[in-house]
Structure formats: C-alpha cells, structure tokens
Structure 1
Amino acid sequence: MTAPRMLHMGGAVVDYVYRIAALPPRGGEAVAGAHARIAGGGFNQMCAARRNGLAVAYGGGHGSGPDGDFLRAALTGAGIEVLLPRSATIDSGNCVVMIDEAGERSFVSWPGAESRLSDAELSAVHPQRGDWIVVSGYTLSYADSREPLHRWLTSLPPDLPVIFDPAPVVAAIPEEILHAVLARATWVSANLAEARVLTGENIPERQAAVLLEHHCPAAEGILLRAGAEGAYLQQRGEPQTRLPAFAVEAVDTNGAGDTHLGVFVAALARNETACDAAQRANAAAAISVTRFGGSAAPTGGEIDTFLAGQQPDAPNAAPPKTVQNQ
C-alpha cells in the first residue's frame, strides 16, 4: 500500500489577524495591538497533520496575486504538495480574524480561488491508496465549487476514507449534496454548533449518536468538539466516550478545531485507535490555544511530552477562560 497521506480538498486562504481588546460597537472602531498575515483556513488542518508525521497534498484552488503567492510559499514551506496550478483569473481568498482579550475570535471572509473548482481541474487530482481525504463544508457551500467537488467525491473508490468537516457554514450546503457527503463519510469531525445544524439535536450527549445512526450509514464514527468540555467520540457499535479537555490558559482559539482535526487524522493514519487519536487531538488543541496563530499545532513529540505530564487521577475540567477544540 502507498504510504498514508492527507489529501485535503478544502479551501486554504490567507488570514489577516488583528488582536483587539474587544469588538467595536456597530459603526465604531477598535485599534489593534498586534497584526499578522498568516496562511489559514484549510492550511491549519494540513499543517497540524504534517507536523504529526503525515504526508499532505492540497487539492484545492489557489490564486494569482499577492495572497496566492503568500499561500503557496506557506504550503511549500510546510512540506505540503500543491496539486493544482494557480488560477489565472482570481487571487486566493482571505479572512479578517479579530481576536479579543479573552482569546475568542470573530471572522469576515472573502472567498477567492479556493471557492472556484471545475470538473476539469478536479480530474487532475488523483487519489492514491492510503489517502485520507478531507472535505470542508466551505468548499461544498460555494456555488462555483460544490457541484464539481460533489461529482468528484462520488467517483472515489469506496475503500478510500473520507473525513468530513462541516465548518460553520454547514447550513449553506444544499441539502442534496450534504446528504450525499454524509452518506459517503467515514468520519465526521465537527463542533457542537455544527452538529446541531446537522441533527436538530440540542443535547451534546445525543448529537454524535444521532448523526451516526441517522445520517452517516457508512461512517465508522463521529468526533464532536465540545470546547472546554472536551470531545465526544461515538464509534459504531460501541458506547459513547467523552474525553475531557485539558486545563490550559487560552490566549488564541483561532485554529484550535483545525488542529484537532489534523492531529486526529494523522493518528488514525498511523493505525492508532480512535480513542487514542481523539485524546491526542484534545491535547494538541489544548497546546495550540496557548500559542498565537491559527497554525499553532504542536509536533508529535510535543504532544507526547504534554500527555506524559498529565496526572491520570487529576480532573481535566478546564477553567472558565479556557476555550479549546472549536
């Protein structure tokens, strides 16, 4: 079998990050204490997987312009293979990220080349045996990419695992496409707000089971990120497991959910159990929120050191300021 690889079909963008005391009122203004331009979006998931030993290829769109150039340099610098040529007509998209003193983030996004995929472009993306294919709700929500990506997904061999990340825009995915992707998914990794949209359930302990039994007939399991509560893992035919969060002081929650997903996939690709993979994902997200930047995922060695330092009998309930695994 070919060596495992994450094949990421979501949208990588460029983030313009502003650290502010608090969001300004409508019509008001906030002065940022710090600013950074970094690669973001799907890049954060890819970077997390790559730092944890998994080869990564990017099958999404990227543009011609300053943001596209910046993004490609970041992908190449992280050791991520770029499969498609750049768009000749549009730059890569970007996202304004505002992070307040509590570490919470707010976004304003502009979709670019990553939101436009054609059948001809996707025909050049050839999955390999051993690939773990990650599909983002963002790409499935865009009018100029969702139909080609849906057709590409339906053409995949059934033995290739598909990880579906619904993303906050899940409600914008057309129902027919959403149902088809859920039916094809091997794993769904989502936060509780996204799971509520998918299931209509408002009880966290029920969402994963409902999603698996009623919406994902081919899935092996569901992993739901529950912020400071940790994560809920539901595998087919097994009792649900709740993995508590680790107590840390959060300074930046941007990209914590992306880190969680990337590390989870990297661990599954190494044939770790789903429970061990979810525990490593929780630890990775906890570490990431103590660092600035969306692509703040730790390496595998850093996760090992972090887990080795945890007291098995100590409670893992996070303090009120801690928000992770988003």
Structure 2
Amino acid sequence: WPGAESVLSLDMLAPVVVAADDWVFTSGYTLSYPGSRDALADWIEALPAGIPFVFDPTPVIADIPGSTLARVLARTTWLSCNMGEAAEIAGQGDVKALAARLLAGHCPKADGVVIRSAAKGCHVRLADGSVQTIPGFEVDALDTNGAGDAHIGAFVSALARGVQPFEAARYANAAAAISVTRHGGSSAPTDYEIQTFLSHAGGPQMGLHGRKQEVKRPTA
C-alpha cells in the first residue's frame, strides 16, 4: 500500500547525501507512483557519474510510464529483473536474447544485467559480451516472498567488496536459496550464513575482498 514513498519531491530527497564509495538502489515501486516518480527520476539522473546505480523494476513495471522507465534505465549500472520484467522492457524472447537486447537497446551505460529465474538461478550478461547462466541451489522452499530482494542485496554486497560479477551472482543465488527456507519477506541471510551454505554446497567460497577460497573438508 502506498506510504510516504508515494509522495516525494527533490527538496525531500536533498538531504540524501551520496558518498564516493556508495551504491544506490531503486525499486520500481516508487517510480510507479504519480506523486514520486518525476522527483526520483530527476534525482537518479543527477547522481555523480562514478556512483553505481542498481535498478529492479519489480512486478509493477507496467505501471511505470515508458518515458520514466527509459530515463532510469539510461542511468542504470546494473539491472536485476525476472523474465517477465525483462520481456516487458525488451519484448519477447529467450533469456539470452532478452539480456542482449536490454544491454544494447535500453541500458547503454550498464556494466551488466541479471535476469533471475527463481530456483533455476540467474543469467548474467556483461557489457563486454561475457555471458554465464549461474545455476541455483536445490532447497525445500517455505516462502518465496522477498527472495528477489535477498538476491539483489547479496549481489550488490558482493560487487561492492570487489567480487567478480559471475561469482557475485552465485553468492546471490545462495542468499536467495536460504531466504526461501524462511517465513516472511524479511528473510535475507548474513554473509556468514551464505558462506556456510556455500561451503556445504561445495566449490570455492569468497574471501572478504572477493578472493576465492577453496573449501577444505576434513578427511575420514
């Protein structure tokens, strides 16, 4: 239900000071409200050039005017969305085609796009043309509410620590997998929980600065 975020002005946003090492994230919900979308789009466009901007259009993407959406996408550094939202922006197609069209025709300044596919994992395409589909993790899901938020938050957290995008996507898949095993929308795990999950899943873990660490298991 629309709350305070549905009525914004540039004067209200003025106290939000962005520092040099900050990342900025916006969801489509605030951009869907007539009383907030213009001010928020103006504020996003005025962000310093070196500040990474992450955008999740969310399921309300159809309620965002095309002109507003285009303005925000033009400033997007990382776009994270599901298949339905990707198709709403770039038309129908398979995940590879959609990712390519999102970068080529809608997010000209982006470092990459992430298309989430729930339990299947996510597809990542970088501006340099590199592509990987990162598989998800098999868990017993209890509540999928908030899984996308957990995925985006973990992905940005990893990138901000210097983790490479494809490995950051695997870290985000683990975060989303953990979140769906818990009830409620506020179910994002801690870094320790994600690292523990990854250690049991096998393969490399990430160090504090994004370096891979091989998991050593005790011998029998």
Match of residue 281, structure 1, among 162, 166, 172: 172
**1:118 positional shift:** 1.2
> After the TM superposition, which residues 20-39 of structure 1 pair with which residues of structure 2 at under 5 Å, given as runs?
none
Query: What is the match of residue 200 of structure 2?
Result: 309
C-alpha displacement at 1:238, in angstroms? 3.1
Per the alignment, residue 57 of structure 2 pairs with: 166
Instruction: Give the TM-score, by structure 2 length.
Output: 0.89
SS at match of 2:129: coil
What is the match of residue 192 of structure 1? 83
**Alignment partner, residue 43 of structure 1:** none
Contiguous gaps of at least 5 residues in structure 2: 204-220
Quick check: 2:28–2:58 contact (8 Å CA) kept in 1? yes
Q: Is 2:98 the partner of 1:218?
A: no
| Alignment counterpart, residue 232 of structure 1, candidates 112, 120, 123 | 123
Q: Distance in 2 between matches of 1:204 and 1:234?
A: 10
Structure number with higher helix proportion: 2
Query: Which structure has the larger Rg?
Result: 1
Q: Using the alignment, how far apart are the partners of 1:229 and 1:223 within structure 2?
A: 13
Greater RCO, CA 8 A, separation 6+? 1
Alpha-carbon RMSD: 1.1
Matched residues in 2 for 1:152 and 1:202: separation?
Answer: 32
Match of 1:254 in 2: 145
Runs of 4+ in structure 1 off by over 4 angstroms are none
Shift of 1:239: 2.8
What count of residue pairs does the alignment treat as equivalent?
203
TM-score under structure 1 length normalisation: 0.61
Which of 174, 179, 190 is equivalent to 2:70? Answer: 179
Q: Structure 1 counterpart of 2:124, which letter?
A: L
Q: CA deviation at 1:133?
A: 0.3
The equivalent of 1:3 in structure 2 is none
Alignment of 1:104-115 (within 5 A): 110-115=1-6
What is the deviation of 1:311? 4.1
Identity %: 50
Shift of 1:226: 0.7
Q: Deviations over 1:174-224 (max 9, x none)?
A: 111111111100000111111110111231222111101111110000011
Q: Distance in 2 between matches of 1:137 and 1:303?
A: 27
